[in-house]
Copies of this chain bind each other. A is one copy, B any other.
């Protein structure tokens, strides 16, 4: 297996790779569901078969990362070992088993003049992805794009360059063995910042660009792109404890939303407690959080009701901790809670704990976020939990897709009309 891009084609620029992807997209768009599933099966097998090469390349990245001092949690995200590679292969097989969204007739009718009109789901064409040093995203996005009939152009973080180079080569090789153009999977990692720029400026070549990573990365991609972008990710997630919130629900939902997996975007970051419930709820909720090792950053009212609370500053309300930290504030009314959310939320997920149906329904109606919950943990905002089988990401924009995205969100539609000579009077 060669790790060069493709020995038969002299490829020199990121633009060339975009062009190759666009040509290959014509092929992937017409693959049958069975062919796409077989291709993904071949990729999964190839990942396991080439685990040693992948681990060796990953070791280079890890060594470089340690020299560069990139930090422990980044190193952990970067690491690939045999079990993780097996997990990656399983994820690819799970994606292969998902229903193919392409070809679905979304709606249709016969026009009064007899033209038979159908709106059918089609692949976007070429999906671009810009992400950080998580080599699993390389495989994940490529598999999701291929399952939905798209070609893909990848730009991963430079810290994972060696790992991604081998992963892309393994996947391309697997495609070729299945008789599918390997050009359907392209990487522009080798071109550094020029690769990212080519993706963001690739009008006519990149049909949709998905940034995955930090708020800074997403901000850059949204600002610099002239191709359509789906924003994913950042979650400054709120839980509101209403006056009527039962103590057990309040405690269990807040703890679960913060602690069950603190590093992900649907983890809670701020708790807003209605003043009328503060004395009853703050002490047990703070105690439960602290019992799980969480540092509570509270306003004065919270500090006066529970020990061990760190004073919160304005910055805390805007912070997506992604760690065992949470902000807590007492608010006078539900209106104040809604105002706070309007000001600080990233529009990802918010939840209210209440037994008052008026407050629950008002919260559901008025909070302008991708997912709004009453009496459930914010951790449910997840493609798997929503029954999509896999998740492309969680969109925090309003165009095209909002909330957890499944395979259908990686497709577009087109209208087909079949007539018999009809013209417009």
- A423 with B111: in contact, given A399-B228, A402-B414, A412-B402 (CB under 8 Å)? no
Q: Which residues of B contact A29 (CB under 8 A)?
A: 368
Q: How far is the CB of A377 from chain B (nearest CB, A)?
A: 4
Q: How far is the CB of A168 from chain B (nearest CB, A)?
A: 25
Choose among A203, A226, A379, A398 the residue with the greatest number of B CB atoms under 10 Å from its CB.
A398
Q: Is A374 an interface residue (CB 8 A)?
A: yes
- A418 with B117: in contact, given A424-B256, A424-B380 (CB under 8 Å)? no
Q: How far is the CB of A386 from chain B (nearest CB, A)?
A: 7
Q: How far is the CB of A256 from chain B (nearest CB, A)?
A: 4
Interface 0/1 of A128-162, CB less than 8 Å to B: 00000000000000000000000000000000000
Binds B, one of A62-70, A71-79, A183-191, A244-252: A244-252
Within 263-322 of A, Cβ neighbours of B (below 8 Å) are at none
* Residue pair A364, B416 in contact (C-beta under 8 Å): yes
| CB closest chain-B residue, reference A364 | B416
Task: Compute how far the CA of A417 lies from the CA of B111 in the bound complex, rounded to whole angstroms.
Answer: 38
Q: Is A323 an interface residue (CB 8 A)?
A: no
Interface 0/1 of A208-243, CB less than 8 Å to B: 100000000000001100101110000000000000
**How many copies make up the complex?**
2
Task: Compute how far the CA of A420 lies from the CA of B398 in the bound complex, rounded to whole angstroms.
Answer: 28
* Residue pair A423, B260 in contact (C-beta under 8 Å): yes
Secondary structure type dominating chain A contacts = mixed
* Residue pair A246, B375 in contact (C-beta under 8 Å): no
Q: Which residues of B contact A414 (CB under 8 A)?
A: 368-372, 402-403
Q: Which residues of B contact A365 (CB under 8 A)?
A: 30
Task: Compute how far the CA of A376 lies from the CA of B112 in the bound complex, rounded to whole angstroms.
Answer: 13
Q: Which residues of B contact A369 (CB under 8 A)?
A: 414
| CB closest chain-B residue, reference A209 | B399
Q: Which residues of B contact A379 (CB under 8 A)?
A: 423-424
Q: Which residues of B contact A119 (CB under 8 A)?
A: 403
Query: Which residue of B124, B208, B404, B423 is within 8 Å of A253 (Cβ)?
Result: B423
Q: Which residues of B contact A375 (CB under 8 A)?
A: 418-422
* Residue pair B249, A377 in contact (C-beta under 8 Å): no
Within 305-360 of A, Cβ neighbours of B (below 8 Å) are at 360
Task: Compute how far the CA of A311 lies from the CA of B415 in the bound complex, rounded to whole angstroms.
Answer: 34
- A368 with B125: in contact, given A223-B226, A226-B222 (CB under 8 Å)? yes
Task: Compute how far the CA of A298 lies from the CA of B421 in the bound complex, rounded to whole angstroms.
Answer: 24
Sorted from nearest, which 10 A-B pairs have the closest CB atoms? A376-B419, A256-B423, A398-B412, A400-B400, A379-B424, A249-B421, A228-B399, A373-B417, A375-B419, A377-B423
What would be 21 A-B contacts, judged by CB atoms less than 8 Å apart?
Answer: A30-B366, A115-B373, A115-B376, A207-B398, A208-B398, A223-B226, A228-B397, A246-B421, A249-B421, A252-B421, A370-B414, A372-B415, A372-B417, A375-B420, A380-B422, A385-B424, A398-B412, A399-B412, A402-B413, A402-B414, A403-B415
